[in-house]
Structures are given as structure tokens and as C-alpha cells.
Amino acid sequence: MARRTGRPSYQLDKADVRHRRTVRFVAVAGVIALVTALLGGLIGYQVGRPDATEATIASIKQDEAKRDAQQIVELIETARRVRDQVAPVLAGIKTETTGGRAPDPAKARQWQEVMRQAAEPFADPPSGTTATNVARGGLRGAVQQASLAVDAYALAAGVPAAQRAAVLDVTARQAAEAATIWSVAATQLDQISVDSGQGHQHVFLDTDPHEGALTPDGAAEGTGG
């Protein structure tokens, strides 16, 4: 039986050769595209993924934001309590220094005790953000200035009548300055309250705007956070 033989390779149909080449080209191109896509995705993931340092920094910032928000809430509560202590004292000084009455030593001692209590919350303040520290420092400064006004009033009770008017004038100016400092701190406190999501919190004294103190912005309490 005769052996069957195929056509020599050089006699193969040229179309078949081109077809096989096309198939191989498409297959190779597909593999290259797949590898490129995988590499691109891996590189993009590596580039976009935060490294350990960035993740740590983000975590620290998040913790600081939470801590500061809590400090702001606590500072608002403290400011309200202290305001309720300081406001009657400043109002009393204004009345006493404009009424022409002689200073009352017993009242001076009472006010000094009130101011001592008002200063206690600021004796060992926590460290917060700059904005929160500014608000707290302003409130503390207002309390200190009010305390000086009370001390000046107490001093006026012990000086000769001829010098009393001058000392009471200094007392009145110190009290007005304390109210102005408080208004600046209260404005800062209102701003950081809004920034932290607590909304407007107006912890202002009842002062005459013509005396230089800042006043609330008129926004409804708790809005804007």
C-alpha cells in the first residue's frame, strides 16, 4: 500500500499561513493587554494606597478633631457657669462706681470670693487646638481683669475720701475692660462652636455695645453647625 503524503510546506495555501499568523498575533496582543492592565492596576493601587505614615497622620488628626470637639463642648459649659458668676459682679461694680456711694468692704470681700471661684476652672487648662486655646485664654483673661476691678474696689474702701473718686474711676474702667475682653473671647468661642458642628453658642455678658464690647451676631442659638 502506497504511503500517502501531504503537500510540501511551500505548497500550503498562503491564506492558511496568514490566518495562523493573525491568530497568533491576536493571542499575543491579548496576553500583553492583560498583563499591562494587571500591572497598571497594581501600580495604581500601590500609588493610591496611603502608606503607614500617612495612615498614622490621618488617624492622629481624626483623634485630635474628636478631642477638640469635646473640649469645645466642655468650654462652652464652663463659660456659661463663669459668666453667671462674673456678670453680677461687673454689674454691681458699675452700679457702685456711678452711684456716688462709699465702697462697701463686706461686698468687696464677697466679690473677691466669687472671682476666686470663677478663676478655678482656668487654673490647669488642657491643651487644645490654637483656636480653642485662644477662646479659653480670652475667658481666663477676662476673669483676671474682673478680679483686678474687684481688688481696686476693695482698695477704694480703705483710701481717704479725697482719693476715693480716682480709685473708683480706675475700678470702673477695669470692669469695662473685663467685659470687653470677655466679649472677644465669647466671639471666638461662638466661632469654634460653629466650626466643630455645635452651632452658634452665644455666651456673652449683658453689656452696652457703645462701651466697646462685641455683641452676638444675631444667629439663632444652635444653628449654623
CB-CB contact of 176 with 209 (8 Å): no
pLDDT computed for residue 42 by the predictor: 54
Q: What separation, in Å, do the N-terminal and C-terminal C-alpha atoms of the chain show?
A: 100
Which positions ≥6 away from 225 have C-beta within 8 Å?
A: 193, 194, 196, 197, 198, 199, 200
Q: Is the pLDDT of residue 43 over 80?
A: no
The stretch 38-60 carries a mean pLDDT of 65
Q: Scan for cell 485630635, then name that residue.
A: 64
Using DSSP, state whether 87 is helix, strand or coil: helix
Provide the pLDDT confidence category of residue 207 given band limits of 50, 70 and 90: confident
Q: Is the pLDDT of residue 57 over 80?
A: no
Q: What is the rounded CA–CA span in Å between residue 70 and residue 74?
A: 6
Q: Is the pLDDT of residue 118 over 70?
A: yes
Of 15-24, 41-50, 83-92, 108-117, which gets the smallest average pLDDT?
Answer: 15-24
pLDDT computed for residue 10 by the predictor: 47
Q: Is the pLDDT of residue 93 over 50?
A: yes
